[in-house]
Amino acid sequence: MEVYVDGIGMVPFGKHPQRSLVSLMKEAAQQALQKSRRPEVEALFVGAMNPEEFTGEGNIAAAVADALELAGLPSIRVETASSSGASALAAGFYAVASGAYSSVLVVAGEKMTHLPTPRVTKILAEVIEEYERNSGASMVALAAMVTQAYAHKWGISHKKLEKILSKVALKNHRNGVFNPYAQFRKEITEEQYFNSRMISYPLRLYDCAPITDGAAAVVITREKSDVKITGVGQGSDTLAVRHRVHLHSFAACRAAALRAYAMAQRGPKDVDFAEVHDAFTCFEIIGAEDLGLLEEGKGWKAVDKGETEVDGRIPLNPSGGLKARGHPVGASGLAQAVEIVRQLRGEVDPHIQVKGARVGLLHSIGGLANNNTVMILERSDAPSHHVPWESPYGKSADIERHHKPDPGRVSREGVLDAYTILYVPPEGFPSPLVLGMITTYSGHRILARAAAPTTFKVGERVVVAKEEDTFYFMRYGFAQKVAFRISRTIRAWKLKLKRRIRS
């Protein structure tokens, strides 16, 4: 069964200190209903990541139905961390496609700016796997390590990497200027970018999406309209980042993309533009590669050449993305859908209108890329010339799990896969906090803290030691070499002695 988009709505993203979460969602929903040819929806699907802790409200789905004076209707909340808005749209899609409802209202929102930043960071960090969280890893720290792993994998120098990331930030801010819903409607200069505070090396303030209040809404229906949803795909990944084989790209995105393309009978070459989850600048490049929109390992070059600009080969985030539009976590995925529909309907500012836009792609990341959604939305008059995707990752949506995830005994030497210097560590940790991902020579992957706050080189040899439950690492040097040899010899002697005593 085909599912179409009817009305859409969105409140300007930003700070809304005087508004409640429910009132933001109500406003977006009312816009969508007013613009709908079929405003008599039969059910609500509500996306929100954590209203319980952000605003102290439970049963948010019922609260939204009540506020809209739609109490009586079924109202279901859907949550998949920061992709909740996209997942709510997916759940609504299934409900309409099943024939149970002829049209439903999907509404998503989050209110975050009223809380102090450390509190917001702490709530967001609840989606991080426990051990990594307890080691001091926050979202930005993990994203910084992913960024480093990407640069190392494709041999990008630090200087080049910085330049590329700045280009993503500058582009999205430039696009945001023309988006009335964007939180930031001002360009930033390269100088501003490079002068901005380092948050978690190599990510600066301008590499990170902001904290935002916002809400978006979409009415979907069985009745034919000008825009339809043709593909819905979702994929998850291990909760722990260290449990993944590859750190430089996201298996959950590829799994979601495979499913969405297959359902839509589309491939990346059919896509005219995409709203990509740029919670951190590098995620836009990695995401576009995972989606097949940019060539694997060469996405950074495409950015450098301007291919992702509004008038480029494959425009990414013409809306300004999460970077400039803002990132009210549970709302972002649905806001992307609204932006894509506005593009397809030619309703955006001419400066950011993608020419001949007929097929748009939505890409939303939940958690640290472990609950992702990809959707294809297209004009109903888009010709169906399916170009199948020859994914470099194979046809399977299975993900590869690291074979030695949680080591009891690990060898005490290994290679540094990625590291970061975190300047805003969680409460109880020293600043700066240096964290590294290490593959030991025994084949284990561990997350460790640097014994001293120094810089490292990704790919270099490091020494690992465990103290209580925490792993520490340091640069492998002559002194370590000698010290280890000695301690090993002593241990061997002790063992011999024990055996002799027993026998």
The contact pattern for a copy of itself, residues 106-145, with x = CB under 8 A and - = no contact, is -----------------xx-xx------------------
What sign results for the dihedral spanned by CA atoms 124, 129, 134, 136?
Answer: negative
Interacting stretch for a copy of itself, rule CB under 8 A, among 80-88, 174-182, 310-318, 434-442? 80-88
What sign results for the dihedral spanned by CA atoms 287, 290, 292, 295?
Answer: positive
Give the E-state strand segments of 177-226 in sequence order: 198-200, 203-204, 214-221
Beta-carbon neighbour count of residue 480 at 10 Å?
17
Q: How far is the CB of 243 from a copy of itself (least distance, A)?
A: 8
468-to-132, 339, 348, 471 alpha-carbon distances in Å: 15, 49, 56, 8
Residues that contact a copy of itself, how many (by CB under 8 A): 67
Candidates 137, 227, 399, 434; binder of a copy of itself (CB under 8 A) is: 399
Q: How far is the CB of 55 from a copy of itself (least distance, A)?
A: 10
Interacting stretch for a copy of itself, rule CB under 8 A, among 181-189, 237-245, 355-363, 386-394? 237-245
Residue 465 near a copy of itself by CB under 8 A = no
Candidates 15, 23, 39, 66; binder of a copy of itself (CB under 8 A) is: 66
Q: How far is the CB of 38 from a copy of itself (least distance, A)?
A: 18
Candidates 239, 415, 451, 465; binder of a copy of itself (CB under 8 A) is: 239
Q: How far is the CB of 182 from a copy of itself (least distance, A)?
A: 27
Candidates 366, 414, 426, 436; binder of a copy of itself (CB under 8 A) is: 366
Q: How far is the CB of 82 from a copy of itself (least distance, A)?
A: 9
Q: How far is the CB of 78 from a copy of itself (least distance, A)?
A: 6
Candidates 259, 327, 342, 412; binder of a copy of itself (CB under 8 A) is: 259
User: Whose CA is closest to 110, among 140, 138, 88?
Assistant: 88
Asked if 141 and 435 count as a contact pair (C-beta separation under 8 A), the reply is: yes
What sign results for the dihedral spanned by CA atoms 307, 308, 312, 315?
Answer: positive
363 membership: H or E segment, kind and range: strand 359-364
When the beta carbons of 155 and 428 are compared against a copy of itself, the nearer one is 428
Residues 6+ apart with CB under 8 A from 11: 24, 27, 28, 181, 214, 215, 216
Q: How far is the CB of 139 from a copy of itself (least distance, A)?
A: 11
Residue 81 near a copy of itself by CB under 8 A = yes
Interacting stretch for a copy of itself, rule CB under 8 A, among 181-189, 200-208, 251-259, 352-360? 251-259
Q: How far is the CB of 2 from a copy of itself (least distance, A)?
A: 11
SS3 per residue for 292-341: CCCCCCCHHHHHHCCCCCCCCCCCECCCCHHHHHCCCHHHHHHHHHHHHH
Helix (H, G, I), strand (E, B) or coil at 221: strand
Question: Which tokens in the block code for residue 165?
Answer: 């990331």
Residues numbered 23-62 forming contacts with a copy of itself, rule: CB under 8 A: 43, 49-50, 52-53, 56-59, 61-62
Residue type, 223: E
10 Å CB burial of residue 189 (0-12, 13-18, 19+) is: exposed
Interacting stretch for a copy of itself, rule CB under 8 A, among 160-168, 178-186, 227-235, 463-471? 227-235
Over its C-alpha atoms, the chain yields an Rg (Å, rounded) of 24
Residue type, 176: G
Residues that bind a copy of itself (CB under 8 A): 1, 43, 49-50, 52-53, 56-59, 61-63, 65-66, 69-81, 87, 90-91, 93-100, 123-124, 126-127, 232-240, 243, 251-252, 255-256, 259, 263, 366-367, 370-371, 397-399, 401
